[in-house]
Every structure is written in structure tokens, then in C-alpha cells.
Structure 1
Amino acid sequence: MSSDRERRVTAGVLIIGDEILSGRTQDTNLRDIARYLGVHGVDLAEARTVPDVLEEIVAALDALRHRYTYVITTGGIGPTHDDITADAVAAAFGVPLVEHPEIIAMMTARWGDELNAARRRMARVPVGGALVKNPVQGPPGFTIGNVFVLAGVPQIMRGMLEDVGPRLEGGRPTVSRTVRVEGSGEGAIAAPLEAVAKAHPDLSLGSYPFFTPEGYGSNLVLRGRDPAVLEAVAGELIAALREAGIERAFEVEAA
């Protein structure tokens, strides 16, 4: 399993915006990014949420971009005064922030004489950056170094992700298998699950309890990159559970 470690490609996510921290806006981007990265063989290793404060954005971005293969930021690239992500990214990379002629041309075609100073803020890209397509609406995002700067609006962010994917040099995609345990709580499951997890440190094993009118139990989800290994370990886990007296343990198709 050491080959999986050698191929491990990681990412950090930086969610930017006072509205997220205040609770006025519920973030859904992290979930969508995590799922998207997993399909491309990239492990989401860390996520941070920071306010619209330039120094805090720069500090978080510097920490993440030096620690992980890629960084994806969301939010703060709109037309208002508190949309300062582009400023922070330029500061982190130590380069000027300039209006990108391609974005200006796109904006001029759309708004004409109504292309005011606020809208022109969305055309600013750090020198050396490249554009990330926006197939939904509005200006594109951008990328510089190992950082991808995307919109905070979920629909637009998801559209931009489609242009990020082909640029990622990922490892093998993560796959999963699920062992369902019925009629036993996590206290009974804990010991056999821990034993299997310790025997296979390169895999991720998680327990997700459920409670329904029909009964209770847990879905034990195994994640890794080698389907054959996962199949074998799922069988090993079921055997360990049954040895512990848990008979209602069986593999189900992952949701």
C-alpha cells in the first residue's frame, strides 16, 4: 500500500467571507469541492474559513499553498469593497494586480458604457495568473501557482470547477465500500473496527450511525484507491465483527 502514499495528491480549501462566519450564508462549496477532488484522485486534507481581512487571507493562503499540492479558494471576487481575494492572492505571491484584457473585453461586450469601476474590480488578476472559465455567468476566476481562485456562489463555483479538473495532476481516484451493521451500536462495533483500521493505516474507515423507525446501527465506510484491497478489507471487517458476536453485518452498495 506504500504506492498509494507515493501517489497521494493533496488540497486545501480556503473559504473566504464574513457572511459564512456570521452564519448568514450556509457554505455548501466545501462538500462539492471535496467530492469533485476525490473523483480526480486528490485528497482534501484541510479546510479553513477566514473573514474578509486581507492579512488573514494572506496568512491562511500562504500556510495552505506551502503545505498541499493545490489550494482552492472560494468567495471574495465580486465587485464590492470587501471582495479582496484577488488583492490577497497578489500580495501572497508578491506580484502586482492588473486588469486582464480578456476579462475587460468580455465585460465591455456585456455592459458597454455601464462598465463602471465596481465591475472592473472583477477584471483584476495577479500578474502571471491564468483564467479559470466561468460557464455560468459573470467574469472568470483565475489560477496562479498551485492556487485556484473561484467564486463563492455555489452554482458558479461548480461551473468553474469543471475547468479546474483537467489541470489537476491527481492520483488514483478514491473509491469506497460500505459495511452495514444493524442492531448494534458503536460501542459494540468500536473494537473490531479499530483493529481493522490499525491493520490498514493507508485506508480511511469511518462509522456513521443511523436511527430509523425500523431500528438502529451504523454504516462503516472504507475508503481507498485500490478496489481489490478494499474488497478484501471489507471481508476482513465483516469477519472481525462476526467474531465479536455481531452477526448482522453485510456489505451494501455505497450511496
Structure 2
Amino acid sequence: MPNPTAAMLVIGDEILSGRTRDANMHFLAGQLTEAGIDLREMRVVSDDPAAIQCAVRALSDAYGYVFTSGGIGPTHDDITADNIAAAFNVPIDVRADARAILATHYDRTGLVMNAARLRMARIPEGASLIDNPVSAAPGFILRNVYVMAGVPAIFEAMVASVLPTLTGGAPLTSRNLTIHRGEGDIAAPLADLAARYPTLSFGSYPFQRDGAYGTNVVIRGQDAGAVEAALADLVTLAG
């Protein structure tokens, strides 16, 4: 039975401008791999309502799970929640349970619940909340879309809270072999090897060190026995 599928949508001009290096994609990919959920696509879109809505609808239709990061904070350019609601044509407003979570947090920390912070309690109708043990402001789940913060520490905490609720599959086994020959030298025999193991994927990643060419070959699959057998054949092939 095939594994569930997923996509990630990263939202924010700061990613596209190069001002911020995104760490959440790498983290999520590793977590989903361990859970047996196949991450099939990653997209990055700007803080543009039409772009966010179009991407959310397309990814939601195409994959079992969609995870977003960024744009659910207190500032004017945090527009993700509004556009997730718009993508599914549902209303959005301050919700009592989200507001209570924030109020408790701000009372404890001595901060004031001002209008900007209250924006983080705006939740689309029909959504369920995602716990945020770091800064309290919740994420939310609407249909198959998991909407989470962009700050890595908060994103990672939110992922940890939702992963146990997801239906996973067989974790992916991965093995790597470094071959000190160029891709052009191993391309044909590697293609033959891949054809003998159609349920596995073979990735070829060339490198150059000290003037010499080499290739890292990565074998991935759900059948650990087949991965090990293919690796043994690859070692023989590499000679």
C-alpha cells in the first residue's frame, strides 16, 4: 500500500528575497520521512493573496497533507490565516478558545493583549487548533492543511504536536555509497541497476574534490532488504 503524500508551502517575501534562509523545509522533510509520509512537493510563494490561495487549493487537491509555514504572526503582512480561509471560502474571526490561550499566556508573562496580538486569535471557521508550547499563539488545521508559524523553534514544536495525529506508512530506508568515478562513467550500469530494482529510487549526486571527480549514489525505498541488496550490487558495480 503506498504511503500517504504531503506537500509544503512556505509563505513569505523574506524567503524569496534571500533575506531569510528557510530551515523548516529540511526539518519537515526529515520528520515526514521517519513517519512514512512521502513529501512530494515544496513551494515558496510571496505575501500575495492570490498566490497563497491558488497554491493552497492546488496542493490540497493533489496531496493528502499540506503543511504551511510563515505569515500567522501579529503584523500587517501576516496574511496567511485570512488567505487560507479565503482559499476554502470560509469566514475568519477572533475565536474564543484561541483568545483565551493568548490571554492566559500574556497574563502570565506580563504582556498586554493589544490589537496586533489579538490578530493571532483569528481562526477560520471549522478549523481546529495546533498547540504552540513556545509562544502560545496557535496554528490551525483546516481540512487537510496544517497552518504553522515560520519561526523554526515554533514550527518544530507545532510539527511535534501534530505528527502523532497523522496516518503514516512505511518509513523510507536510505543508504549512500561514494564512488570515486564521474557520473558519465557509472551512468549506464547505474541505469541497469535501477531497472533491476523498480521499487527503489536511485539518486546520483556528482562532486569534485582536489581535481578528481566522484559520485554519491543514494538508494531509497520502503523495503529495507531490497535497499541492502541493491547496495551490495552497487558496491560490486563500483568495483
- Matched-pair identity in %: 48
1:166 matched to which residue of 2? Answer: 164
| 1:197 alignment partner AA | A
The corresponding residue for 1:107 is: 102
Gap change, CA 1:216 and 1:135, over 3 Å in 2: farther
Deviations 1:14-55 (A, max 9, x none): 000011111111111111111111000011101111111111
Letter of the structure 2 residue corresponding to residue 114 of structure 1: V
Q: State the shift of 1:214 in Å.
A: 10
Judge which range, 54-63 or 201-210, deviates more: 201-210
Query: How far is 1:117 from its partner?
Result: 1.1
- Offset at residue 210 of structure 1 (A): 3.9
Letter of the 2:68 partner, please give it.
Answer: T
What's the counterpart of residue 197 of structure 1? 194
Instruction: State the 1:212 CA deviation.
Output: 4.2
Q: TM-score, normalised by structure 1?
A: 0.87
Please give the secondary structure, in 2, of the residue aligned with 1:8. coil
Distance 2:131 2:223 in 1: 33
- Shift >6 Å, 4+ stretches: none
Q: C-alpha offsets along residues 88-136 of structure 1, whole Å, 9 cap, x if unaligned?
A: 1111122111222222112222335821111111111111111111122
State the partner residue of 1:146. Answer: 144
Contact 2:105-2:136 within 8 A present in 1 as well: no
The corresponding residue for 2:221 is 224
* AA aligned opposite 1:168: L
Aligned residues of 2:67 and 2:146 also touching (Cα < 8 A)? yes
Amino acid at match of 2:26: R
Cα shift at 1:213? 5.1
Aligned length: 236
The root-mean-square deviation of aligned C-alpha atoms, in Å, is: 1.7
Contact 1:143–1:149 (8 Å) recurs in 2:
yes
Q: Specify which of 53, 68, 75 is matched with residue 73 of structure 1.
A: 68
Alignment partner of 1:121 is 2:143: no
Alignment of 1:1-255 (within 5 A): 6-112=1-107, 114-182=112-180, 184-212=181-209, 216-239=213-236, 241=237, 246-247=238-239
TM-score (norm 2): 0.93
Gaps of 5+ in 2: none
The runs of 5 or more residues in structure 1 that have no matched partner are 1-5, 248-255
**Partner of residue 253, structure 1:** none
Question: CA contact under 8 A between 1:54 and 1:84: conserved in structure 2?
Answer: yes
